[in-house]
Structures are given as structure tokens and as C-alpha cells.
């Protein structure tokens, strides 16, 4: 089993001009690694991070888009797997951080936490490439390759629940962040 | 013939689908995000699906439209969510969070299934239809009823305004648009 922050540290060196979309605990850990204009945290409703990511991927097919979604969030929007597979954006990489809990809401377990297989769901939905990582060394070796594959790509990161995080939502969802992101993405 | 291509009894063709589609095009919308709705299926969704002007994204559940439209907006792409009022009701939290609180131009065209076009929606005998406009008012969302051909002229300016002000919009389709 891995730690989410360690996975993100393994991913970060490979991320250059990709647009990274995340929310809640994943967003907190990702932001710890540094400010980027191309971080997209303005989600506004749980479960929709993957849908925001699809919108960006469709709107900017010339840029790669990485979604860092929690497992509780995906469960609130499971249909997105089918929608994304149907829309088939070649530039979208969808990571699901599977810690088995609704971490931002008291760390209660997600339904059927020990058995649910998100990678199998993504495969059945029709994703072009599907990965399932539970070993950090393996992920460190593969991360750069995974985010360069022709999408839609799906990867589960099986992690342990983290220590309690401090959720600074005003900082995370600051309107100035959205303004800067739109200015960056709207440019051609 | 499919049920959605058969005109409703009493449908006098007073709301033409092709005029609505022309208005959507005039508003600069490129992406249509949709879960099918029998009110708009024959007159709007089917021709839109065939129209190379549009990129149609079929979603599984209406709240996906809200996230996708927001993502597209960051990229300066315009989208219209074509849904039924039941899907609007199901998506209220997403509309609240993304559209209202984050001030995103989420433009929705909402079929009022079961609405009597000779009445205003607030007087509809159908509870689900009757509550739509009061909910939109409570959320501070601009809305227009598109019930006759003369209402179609509201569409493009309303979408333009929503994008200019970065705020959500609801266009309520009060009767089945006719099939061209």
C-alpha cells in the first residue's frame, strides 16, 4: 500500500505543462508540492472533478489533462467513466486515489471499500489504457509513461488513509486562482 | 416511427425546432451536453446529433453536464446542456456549487415534460414543473420560457449575456419543438 503524498511526489517531476484537476484531499496534497497556474481546484460539487477534467480535455485537445480524483468522489459520479470512454479524449489521464474512505468528511469508509475494483470498472467502461498501482516503486517507474499514453487513460493509486489534513478551502478555491487559470487556458 | 418524432396531440407547430437550433448556433455554442428528454428529443436532440456544427457529448447523468460545461468555459468554449426538468432537479447541488457560487456560465435548455403550454409553468398541474421557476428564482438564476416561435429570439441574447456576466442560465422549453 502507498501513501497519497508519496504518489504525488513521484508524479510531480513528470508534470510540466499539463493541466491538473483535483479536489478535496488530493488537491490539498497536490498543492503542497507547489503553486501552478495550471492547477484547477474550482470544483464546487463532489464527484464532478472528472467531469471538469473531461470539459478541459475537450476544450484544449492540444494540452494534456490529469485528473486526481478520490474514490469517494468517483463513486458519486461513476457514470463519468462511461461518458469519458465514449468521448474518448486522447489527452486525458484519470487517476483515482483509492484510500477506501470519505477522508474529507470524517474518514468513514466508502461502500464495499475492501472489494471495489475501480480499474475493472474503467476497463469495462472502455478506457484505452488502465493501470492499477499498489506499489510505490512500481508507480515511480511507470508514472512518466502513464501520463504520456494516448488516452483516455485510467489509473488507480491504492493508498492508505492519510493523517488528518488541514483543509484551507478559501486558499484552495480562491477566485483569483480561477481567473488566472482561465487566462492561461483561454490563450491560443 | 419513434415516439419522439410523432407530434403531440394539439401540437400546432408553434415552436419550431430548426429555429431553436439556429438560435443556439448564433449564440456561439459548439458543445451540446445531453441526457435525452422526450420533450426535446425529436425536434432538437436528433437534428443536433446529425449536425456537424455541434459536438454532442452524451452523458450518463445530468450533473456531469455542469462540470463539463465549466471545464469547457475555462478554455473559451461554449456549451449548452440539453436536459429534462427532472435532470435539472437532480443536478441542483452542482448548479449551486459550480454555476452560482463559482459564477460559471452554465447554460441549460430544460424540457418541461408534462407541461401544458397554454399555462404558465407556475400554474402547471404537474408538481415537478410547478416548482421549477420558484427554485430558479430562489437560486438567483436567470430563466426564460421558450413556448412559442416568438420566444426563440430570447435564446441567443440570453446565452450571450450569461457568458458576458459569467452566470448560469435556464431556458425552459414549454412544449415539444416540432420536427423539421
Say what the ipTM of the complex is. Answer: 0.95
Segments in B6-154 forming alpha helices (H): 17-26, 46-50, 62-74, 85-90, 92-94, 127-130, 132-139
Confidence check: pLDDT of A39 > 60 = yes
Bond into A187 cis (ω within 30): no
Model confidence pLDDT, tens digit, residues A132-157: 999 999 999 999 999 999 999 999 99
pLDDT tens, position by position, B99-156: 999 999 999 999 999 998 889 999 998 999 999 999 999 999 999 999 999 999 999 9
A6 within a domain of the structure (yes/no)? yes
Counted domains in chain A = 1
Taking contacts as CB-CB distances below 8 angstroms, the residues of chain A near B94 are: 44-45, 48
| Residue A62's CATH number | 3.40.50.970
Q: Verify whether the Cβ–Cβ distance B67 to A83 is below 8 Å.
A: no
- Please write the tens of the pLDDT for every residue from A9-36: 999 999 999 999 998 889 999 999 999 9
> Is position A187 within any domain?
no
Contact B71 A59 (CB under 8 A): yes
Any idea where the domains of chain B sit in the sequence?
A: 3-173
Write down the residue that cell numbers 455541434 correspond to. Answer: B54
B79 and A178 in contact by Cβ < 8 A? no
Which contiguous run of DSSP H or E holds residue B82? strand B79-84
Across the interface, do A59 and B93 touch by the CB < 8 Å criterion? Answer: no
Residues of A in contact with B75 (CB under 8 A): 55-56, 59-60, 185-186
A175-186 and B62-74 helices, crossing angle to 10°: 70
Quick check: is A57 in a domain? yes
- With CB atoms and an 8 Å threshold, state whether B64 touches A57: no
Please identify, in words, the CATH class of the domain defined by B3-173: alpha beta
Percent of chain B with pLDDT strictly greater than 90? 88
**Chain A from 148 to 187: CB within 8 A of any B CB:** 173, 175, 178, 181-182, 185-186
Which chain A residues are closer than 8 Å to B97 by Cβ? 43-45, 48
Cite the beta strand spans of A103-145 per DSSP E: 108-109, 129-133
CB < 8 Å from B in window 39-98 of A: 40, 42-45, 47-60, 77, 79-80, 82-83, 86-87
Chain B residues within an 8 Å CB radius of A185: 74-76
Cβ–Cβ < 8 Å for B64, B13:
no
CA distances B58 to B34, B37, B152, Å, are 5, 12, 24
pLDDT over 70 at B1, yes or no: no
With respect to residue A188, please indicate whether it lies within any of the assigned structural domains. no
Domain membership flag for residue A155: yes
Q: For A112-136, what is each residue's pLDDT tens digit?
A: 999 999 999 999 999 999 999 999 9
Full-model pTM: 0.96
- Boundaries of domain holding A97: 2-182
**A-B contacts at Cβ under 8 angstroms:** 111
Q: Which of A59, A173, A175 sits opposite B74 (nearest CB)?
A: A59
Residue B12 has pLDDT above 80, yes or no: no
Q: Mean pLDDT throughout A52-79?
A: 97
Amino acid at each position: 500500500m502507498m501513501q497519497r503524498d508519496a504518489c504525488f511526489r513521484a508524479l510531480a517531476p513528470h508534470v510540466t505543462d499539463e493541466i491538473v484537476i483535483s479536489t478535496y484531499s488530493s488537491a490539498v496534497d497536490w498543492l503542497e508540492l507547489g503553486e501552478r497556474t495550471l492547477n484547477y481546484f474550482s470544483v464546487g460539487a463532489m464527484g464532478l472533478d472528472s467531469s471538469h477534467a473531461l470539459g478541459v480535455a475537450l476544450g484544449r485537445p492540444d494540452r494534456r489533462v490529469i485528473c486526481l480524483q478520490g474514490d469517494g468522489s468517483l463513486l458519486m459520479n461513476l457514470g463519468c467513466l462511461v461518458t469519458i470512454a465514449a468521448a474518448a479524449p486522447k489527452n486525458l489521464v484519470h487517476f483515482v486515489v483509492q484510500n477506501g474512505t470519505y477522508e474529507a468528511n470524517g474518514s468513514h469508509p466508502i461502500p464495499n471499500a475492501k472489494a471495489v475494483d475501480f480499474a475493472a470498472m474503467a476497463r469495462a467502461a472502455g478506457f484505452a489504457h488502465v493501470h492499477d498501482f499498489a506499489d510505490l516503486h512500481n508507480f515511480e517507474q511507470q508514472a512518466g509513461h502513464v501520463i504520456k499514453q494516448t488516452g483516455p487513460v485510467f489509473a488507480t493509486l491504492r493508498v492508505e488513509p492519510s493523517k488528518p489534513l488541514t483543509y484551507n478551502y478559501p486558499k484552495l478555491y480562491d477566485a483569483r486562482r480561477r481567473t488566472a487559470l482561465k487566462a492561461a487556458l483561454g490563450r491560443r | 416511427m419513434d415516439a419522439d418524432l410523432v407530434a403531440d396531440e394539439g401540437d400546432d407547430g408553434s415552436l419550431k425546432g430548426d429555429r431553436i437550433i439556429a438560435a443556439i448556433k448564433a449564440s456561439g455554442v459548439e458543445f451540446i451536453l445531453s441526457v435525452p428528454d422526450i420533450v426535446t428529443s425529436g425536434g432538437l436532440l436528433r437534428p443536433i446529433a446529425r449536425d456537424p456544427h455541434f459536438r454532442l457529448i452524451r452523458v450518463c447523468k445530468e450533473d456531469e453536464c455542469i462540470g463539463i460545461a465549466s471545464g469547457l468555459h475555462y478554455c473559451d468554449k461554449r456549451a449548452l446542456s440539453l436536459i429534462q426538468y427532472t435532470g435539472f432537479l437532480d443536478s441542483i447541488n452542482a448548479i449551486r456549487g459550480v454555476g452560482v457560487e463559482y459564477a460559471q456560465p452554465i447554460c441549460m435548455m430544460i424540457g418541461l415534460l408534462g407541461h401544458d403550454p397554454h399555462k404558465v409553468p407556475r400554474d402547471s398541474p404537474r408538481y415537478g414543473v410547478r416548482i421549477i421557476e420558484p427554485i430558479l428564482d430562489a437560486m438567483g438564476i436567470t430563466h426564460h420560457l421558450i413556448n412559442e416561435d416568438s420566444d426563440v429570439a430570447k435564446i441567443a441574447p440570453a446565452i450571450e449575456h450569461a457568458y458576458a456576466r459569467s452566470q448560469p442560465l435556464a431556458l425552459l422549453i414549454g412544449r415539444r419543438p416540432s420536427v423539421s
